């Protein structure tokens, strides 16, 4: 796939060197430190923290420190969300003080709990206010600032090119565009060609996002959008190696995916144990359940509903681990894993 060759080359974002152009998207409650570490090890060129509410960060709310702390990866990128300029500026200063190399501003999240507070993609309904937030963050830190957005609020307001152009003028060094409007949420198919209008409007790097899960789709989104890089999100559910697999198809070498049922079981158990270590036993048990559910749904061929429920509802880590090993190593693994072996 010649189109993928571009993805193997480094990318400069405001002086920060990114090793390749296949990125892991920021996903709330998902791209925590253990998940980002795995995606990076598998070959993702850039990984982004889960969204951090700037107001909560500025007020010192418990748990925010885990979202922004430096995990030792070559590039530490933190995504902030919010509506208040003072909070966004202070949140950016705190993140930069913790070692963030890049600050990303969330202007694309469609969730009602975010847009209901006039943050996320709701900011695309008021570009003047969106620009005030961008200017506050750019003015608060010396590290590069980027923005993630959607095509617009709805089909009647496809203003991503205008927002991107104004963001560039305000000092933003890269923009990422999800090829849907906010009102589409995740319905239908992302419009990759519409991202090309953003690329034509700016001279900074543009990252294309939405519905990419394979090297073939990555090649197509690059061709249709003209973007400089690809960002992959939901395809990583139960498969932290997806961005790395695309990067490998582009010629990058990285950690491969588990090749046997036993190796897969070891991998998932290690991920589970890392989450328990990060969050503590009580919170870790809860935080890990969605990940374990995705691993089981994607890879445990034939696991019974009863066994799945026991794994996902147990409060005993040892019982969870025994169940995972039985489901993943003994029952069998998905067609996806078998084809990769």
In the residue annotation, 109 being an active-site residue is answered as yes
CA distances from residue 57 to 68, 81, 88, 90, 120 in whole angstroms, order as listed: 9, 10, 9, 8, 16
Quote the CA–CA distance of 330 and 338 in Å, as a whole number: 14
Strand order in the sheet with 229-232: 46-47, 22-24, 229-232, 206-209, 174-178, 145-150, 102-107, 77-81, 52-53
Quote the CA–CA distance of 17 and 87 in Å, as a whole number: 28
Among the listed residues 191, 199, 247, 190, the one whose alpha carbon sits nearest the alpha carbon of residue 226: 199
- Name the 3-class secondary structure at 83: coil
Contacts of residue 120, Cβ cutoff 8 Å, sequence gap at least 6: 81, 106, 107, 108, 109, 110, 111, 114, 182
Calculated CA dihedral for residues 72, 76, 81, 82, nearest 10 degrees? 90
Quote the CA–CA distance of 144 and 124 in Å, as a whole number: 21
Neighbours of 138 (CB within 10 A): 21
Among the listed residues 285, 290, 279, the one whose alpha carbon sits nearest the alpha carbon of residue 63: 279
Encoded tokens for 33? 């430190």
- In total, the chain counts a number of residues equal to 341
User: 109, 133, 229, 230: which is the annotated catalytic residue?
Assistant: 109
Quote the CA–CA distance of 163 and 238 in Å, as a whole number: 34
Q: What residues act catalytically?
A: 109
């Amino acid at each position: 796939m010649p189109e993928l060759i571009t993805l193997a080359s480094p990318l400069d974002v405001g002086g920060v060197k990114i090793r390749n152009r296949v990125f892991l998207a920021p996903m709330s409650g998902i791209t925590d430190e253990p998940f980002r570490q795995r995606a990076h090890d598998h070959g993702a060129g850039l990984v982004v923290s889960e969204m951090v509410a700037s107001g909560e960060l500025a007020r010192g709310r418990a748990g925010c420190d885990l979202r922004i702390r430096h995990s030792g990866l070559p590039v530490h990128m933190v995504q902030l969300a919010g509506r208040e300029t003072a909070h966004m500026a202070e949140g950016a200063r705190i993140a930069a003080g913790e070692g963030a190399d890049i600050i990303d501003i969330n202007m694309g999240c469609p969730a009602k709990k975010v847009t209901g507070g006039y943050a996320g993609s709701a900011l695309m309904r008021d570009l003047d206010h969106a620009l005030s937030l961008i200017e506050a963050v750019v003015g608060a830190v010396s590290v590069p600032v980027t923005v993630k957005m959607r095509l617009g609020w709805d089909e009647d307001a496809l203003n991503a090119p205008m927002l991107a152009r104004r963001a560039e003028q305000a000092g933003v060094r890269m923009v990422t565009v999800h090829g849907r409007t906010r009102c589409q949420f995740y319905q239908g198919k992302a419009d990759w060609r519409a991202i090309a209008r953003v690329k034509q409007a700016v001279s900074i790097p543009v990252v294309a996002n939405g519905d990419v899960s394979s090297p073939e789709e990555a090649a197509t989104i690059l061709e249709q959008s003209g973007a400089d890089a690809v960002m992959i999100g939901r395809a990583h559910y139960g498969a932290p190696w997806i961005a790395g697999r695309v990067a490998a198809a582009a010629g990058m070498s990285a950690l491969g995916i588990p090749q046997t049922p036993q190796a897969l079981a070891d991998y998932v158990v290690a991920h589970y144990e890392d989450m328990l270590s990060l969050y503590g036993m009580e919170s870790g048990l809860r935080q890990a359940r969605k990940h374990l559910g995705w691993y089981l749904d994607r890879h445990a061929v034939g696991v019974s509903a009863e066994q799945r429920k026991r794994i996902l509802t147990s409060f005993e880590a040892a019982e969870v681990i025994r169940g995972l090993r039985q489901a993943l190593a003994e029952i069998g693994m998905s067609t996806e894993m078998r084809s990769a072996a």
